[in-house]
Structure 1
Amino acid sequence: MNKCVYASILVLLVIGCKETQVRQSDFVPFKKPVTLSTTTEAVEKKPWEYEISPKKEVVEERKEGIPDKFVYPEERKKPEPSLHKPEYTGDKIDVALNFDNAEIKDVLQVILGEILNVNYILDRRVGGTINLHATGQVYKEELLSMLNTLLYVYDFAIIKDGDLYRVLPKAESRQEANIVISGDKIPPWSKDIIIQIVPLQYENPKNLNATIKPFMTGIGNIVTHGDSPYIILIETASNMEKLLTLVKTFDVPFFAGKAVKFYDFKYVDARNMAKDLAAIAQSMGGKVGGEGEFNFVPFSDTNKMLIATRVPELLPKIDLWIKNVDVPPSELEEELKIYVYKVQHQKAETIVPVLTQIYNEKMAAQPKPLGKKQLEAMKIVADSKTNTIVVKALPSDYRGIKAIIEAIDATPQQVFIEVLILEVDLKSNLDYGTEWSLKMGSTKLFGLGDLQRTAETPAISFAKGNFEILMDILATNSNTKILSAPHILVRDEQPANIQVGSEVPILSSSGQQTGTTVTFEQVQYRDTGIILTVTPHIGENDFVTLEIKQEVSNAEETTTGVSNSPTFSTRKAGTSLVIKSGHTISLGGIIEQKNEKRISKIPLLGDIPFLGNLFKSTSIANKRTELIMLITPYIANDAEEADSLTNAFQKKLKEIEPLITQRVNEVQKY
């Protein structure tokens, strides 16, 4: 018997527990969406990384508890209850005021001095005539407000200072206001001028300035302080309620009154869907983006899309649009089709090998499905003449192929490279070269300021641009010549070649035709001078890795005994370094020594044959020069930036021309 009783109680407890459970439909908690990963550590994606996943024909249903739609209320806050109807205290008094063209001073004496019996001070600028007619019973405070309102018309105001009332010009009354209220509480109704400090939660104070100013009286003013989230209102207490109502109307969060909904797509690409929905909305007169009615934000990694709208009632219509587009492909659509993709920035023949490695299984012969016709193999071909990729594939497969092509064929970044090639005469403190002088601590040698060496390479980096450095050099050293100032715009990861010099002919072979006396010679040409190859690699945070190859070669008279063939002296240097966009790297250390023949003679006498040697002297001067290259890379993200950098470069060249001419003239004097 006891066992039966216990069993009955247990059953009732279980039933009771079930009845008290909260149903999922009654309470939907807000949870953060969870992303499942096969790795145990989160992988941070770089801006240049892409993830392209195959499309899933079957998408899991959304888990309960994760809402896909949010509707935010208007959140238009109202100020506290108005005190617009003043509650005057005391007894009413009988008044009968009839003033026609009366002096303001006389009217003030009657009302303030005789009726209200208060102490007051008149500013010496208070004057003029006034008209006032009022009869009946009024409170003393009400009569004072009536007088203040009338004085506003004549550009005067009454300011209460303790038990003293001051009458002064209205323009100065706000500086004399001594009632300060902090917060958004509406003050009691009166004609007193008050200062109210109103805190803002969402809106920028500067934006509210233009909105509120038109609703202020002539005595009012609004003050903002930098980025501080406060506005200071100077106004009569009677008009402050209207201003505070305006502030609360516009001081709302950016998402107030908007609806946001997430969409999962099974069969279409979220990015394409965003473009199509934007086109549909615009065709119906809607505005997309910014302050428009719609904002479509696709997420390519998860193939989802967020739609934000200022009109929540439009979401059901958007649901209908998507429902008619995101449908499974029909059997006809799953037949092989031919697609042609025009490659914009890369070469088609370099992209196709990547695609063939990814889709090599589908490009092989396909087995025949049971009960269906034989499927052809996928084909991907590059046409180098038109730089296009021709794809024969299923529509579902082509979506993935297109995504890969778009990721590879993205608009490449470019680097604008400025180069200044200088030749410096090594004299006095430069006898051992500029690099040696910098090593020994002479960092103020050219007025360059602080320098920083780059590891053990013959390179020194400057925070200045190369033109600023050049101006410093020319201003402190007249033994500097500009050999060349080339500039070039090059794509990221591509080499840029700069050559300043000439092609020298070399006799490669000679001979005589058989049976004749005709001789022939074969000549080859070799590049000489300054040859610079720079390959940029753009990194993050505006840093650029530069691979630099530098060659300086000269053709000299042969010393090998081979006639008609010059001897080449070649000096090469190579380095790889990292520098920030807009900073300058200096490459030096290539020193050349020349023996110059100098002749000094007496004019006219030194030119006499044979006897002229008596009036002239010949000397051999040892001249040592160092070649310095200043290289400055600038990252150009688009064509406008490239044009801007080019124009700035040309402007700088014009700026240094007068200084170069001045230095040349100074050298020629000596």
Structure 2
Amino acid sequence: MTLVSVPVIAAILFSSHTYAKGTDFDINAMPVSDAVSLLWNQVLHKPFMLSPELAADTRKLTFHISPDNDEREFITRYLLNMNIKVTTKKGVDYISSFTPPAPRPHLVNYVYTPRYRSVGYLTRSLSMLFNDDTGVTVKASDSQANQSPQDKAGFMSNDSDTLVFRGTPQQVAQLKDVLPLVDTRASEIDVTAYVYEVNTNERNGSGFALAAKLLNGRFDFRLGTGEGYGNFIKLSTPSIEALYELFRTDSRFSVVSAPRLRVISGDEGKFNVGASVPVLGSVSYQDRNAVQSVDYHDSGVIFTVRPSITNDLITLRIQQQISNFAKTENGVNNSPTLIKREVKTAVSLKDGEIIVLSGLAENKTSDANTGFTFLPKSWSGRSKDNTKTDIVIILQVRKVQE
């Protein structure tokens, strides 16, 4: 018995050179490249070019064309179902594969009213869970640019009081599982501080040294160094009021402010004791008339703190400013001059821990003449005094228990 391959059998069956509508023939399990060659040479009679990736395509073609079918329409439709397209340029058919567009997902709406967190916080926290890998983004991607709003997926609200999400049913189910883990009550701390101005001289040393001397032998503490402040002291005493009573016994320590703030983790708390001073701003022109703007700047004692709360530590970013306005002696005489002392730092504390900070110092030198004016100058005396004012901050943080 002699075996004949399928391509050979097909070639024998379609040996005629003319195939019009009404042809009846079959192809059974023929590779893509062989089937295309047979169909275009023996049925369609057109020049063609086959893309290289299809030459190695291992898929098999099987179909039957009945006499009432249009051969070209039938063949191109069959190939199109296999993601193979036929394009004609200058009488030549180009046969290549293509990637079909992804089907539009079935999207549903989900509305959620937050319990503790803002909609903006939830959107920022959850947006990474629904990115391009899952087909959902907070903002429309390039592939979504031509879609209508109903076809886009993601968070539809940001600044409102209700979270609106549009996504697939699977993504909505995932969001429902994650939301209770994210929409939890934010951690809070109570910040208690005493801000002292310390008057010292060259013999007394710095305000920080005086504070350490007062604490020595009375409390257990440890020294450290931090960003912004030259050094600091940490204590584990249960009450900051005990330190307040201790510093009150020394006349060189005077309380400038005693802020008490309750701050949410990640937010900013600000304590301001002073005045808003008007300062001349820019000049604009309206109908050829000059209009002088006036800006108001805060001065006095400004204490700002921003906590970041974790299970074991409380990281504080602290900004302390003591300022006042003085008459301008040169430059823009119509505007006062801002004189300020300011420092920023970041420290880490445990719950209930107390820290003593220092670093805002100001030196003043004064000269004085003593004697009678009617006596010669050689009989008078001269004295020189160097004084320094230093700012010392005592601060305690406590977690607010829910």
- TM-score in same-fold range (> 0.5): yes
Q: Once the 2 structures are TM-superposed, how far is the Cα of residue 336 of structure 1 from its aligned partner?
A: 5.2
Question: Equivalent residue for 1:414?
Answer: 188
Q: 1:453 to 1:429 in 2, by over 3 A?
A: same
- Asked if structure 2 preserves the Cα contact closer than 8 Å seen for 1:502 and 1:529, the reply is yes
Residue by residue, what CA displacement relative to the aligned partner does 1:37-68 show, whole Å, maximum 9, x if unpaired?
Answer: xxxxxxxxxxxxxxxxxxxxxxxxxxxxxxxx
Q: CA RMSD in A?
A: 3.6
- Report 1:367-516 matches (<5 A): 379-384=153-158, 386-426=160-200, 430=204, 432-437=205-210, 443-444=213-214, 448-456=218-226, 457-464=230-237, 465-475=239-249, 477-509=250-282
Q: Once the 2 structures are TM-superposed, how far is the Cα of residue 383 of structure 1 from its aligned partner?
A: 3.1
Q: 1:473 to 1:447 in 2, by over 3 A?
A: farther
- Asked if structure 1 preserves the Cα contact closer than 8 Å seen for 2:123 and 2:158, the reply is no
Q: Is 1:522 matched with 2:293? A: yes
Q: Is 1:637 matched with 2:375? A: no
- Asked if structure 1 preserves the Cα contact closer than 8 Å seen for 2:197 and 2:391, the reply is yes
Residue by residue, what CA displacement relative to the aligned partner does 1:437-472 show, whole Å, maximum 9, x if unpaired?
Answer: 46xxx6346875333222253322122232111111
Q: 1:379 to 1:353 in 2, by over 3 A?
A: farther
- The CA distance in 1 between the partners of 2:286 and 2:175, in whole Å, is 61
Q: Is 1:347 matched with 2:118? A: yes
Q: 1:425 to 1:632 in 2, by over 3 A?
A: same
- The CA distance in 2 between the partners of 1:554 and 1:510, in whole Å, is 25
Q: 1:413 to 1:513 in 2, by over 3 A?
A: closer
Q: Which has the higher strand share?
A: 2
- The CA distance in 1 between the partners of 2:163 and 2:293, in whole Å, is 44
SS of 2:185's equivalent? coil
Question: Equivalent residue for 1:628?
Answer: 392
Residue by residue, what CA displacement relative to the aligned partner does 1:54-102 show, whole Å, maximum 9, x if unpaired?
Answer: xxxxxxxxxxxxxxxxxxxxxxxxxxxxxxxxxxxxxxxxxxxxxxxxx
Q: Once the 2 structures are TM-superposed, how far is the Cα of residue 561 of structure 1 from its aligned partner?
A: 3.5
Q: Once the 2 structures are TM-superposed, how far is the Cα of residue 393 of structure 1 from its aligned partner?
A: 4.0
- The CA distance in 2 between the partners of 1:445 and 1:635, in whole Å, is 25
- The CA distance in 2 between the partners of 1:417 and 1:348, in whole Å, is 27
Question: What TM-score, normalized by structure 1, do the two folds share?
Answer: 0.36
- Asked if structure 1 preserves the Cα contact closer than 8 Å seen for 2:274 and 2:298, the reply is yes
- The CA distance in 2 between the partners of 1:486 and 1:556, in whole Å, is 25
- Asked if structure 2 preserves the Cα contact closer than 8 Å seen for 1:362 and 1:377, the reply is no
Question: What TM-score, normalized by structure 2, do the two folds share?
Answer: 0.57
Residue by residue, what CA displacement relative to the aligned partner does 1:303-355 show, whole Å, maximum 9, x if unpaired?
Answer: xxxxxxxxxxxxxxxxxxxxxxxxxxxxxxx9754321012333323433554
With CA pairs under 8 Å and 6+ residues apart, which has the higher RCO, 1 or 2? 2
- The CA distance in 2 between the partners of 1:505 and 1:590, in whole Å, is 26
2:309 to 533, 538, 563: 538
Structure 1 unmatched ranges of 5 or more: 1-333, 366-375, 599-618, 639-670
Q: Once the 2 structures are TM-superposed, how far is the Cα of residue 514 of structure 1 from its aligned partner?
A: 7.7
Residue by residue, what CA displacement relative to the aligned partner does 1:339-394 show, whole Å, maximum 9, x if unpaired?
Answer: 210123333234335545433434499xxxxxxxxxx8573334345421123445
Question: Equivalent residue for 1:577?
Answer: 347
Identity over aligned pairs, percent: 24
- The CA distance in 2 between the partners of 1:460 and 1:428, in whole Å, is 22
- The CA distance in 1 between the partners of 2:286 and 2:119, in whole Å, is 49
Q: Which moved more, 1:412-421 or 1:462-471?
A: 462-471
SS of 1:426's equivalent? strand
Equivalenced residue count is 267
Q: Which amino acid aligns with 2:355?
A: I
- Report 1:591-602 matches (<5 A): 591-593=361-363
Q: Which amino acid aligns with 2:189?
A: V
Q: 1:463 to 1:385 in 2, by over 3 A?
A: closer
- The CA distance in 2 between the partners of 1:443 and 1:357, in whole Å, is 52
Question: Equivalent residue for 1:554?
Answer: 324
- The CA distance in 2 between the partners of 1:355 and 1:445, in whole Å, is 48
- Asked if structure 1 preserves the Cα contact closer than 8 Å seen for 2:315 and 2:348, the reply is yes
- The CA distance in 2 between the partners of 1:478 and 1:405, in whole Å, is 55
SS of 1:352's equivalent? helix
Q: Which has the higher helix share?
A: 1
- Asked if structure 1 preserves the Cα contact closer than 8 Å seen for 2:305 and 2:319, the reply is yes
Q: 1:378 to 1:403 in 2, by over 3 A?
A: farther
Q: Once the 2 structures are TM-superposed, how far is the Cα of residue 414 of structure 1 from its aligned partner?
A: 0.6
- The CA distance in 2 between the partners of 1:484 and 1:515, in whole Å, is 48
SS of 1:383's equivalent? coil
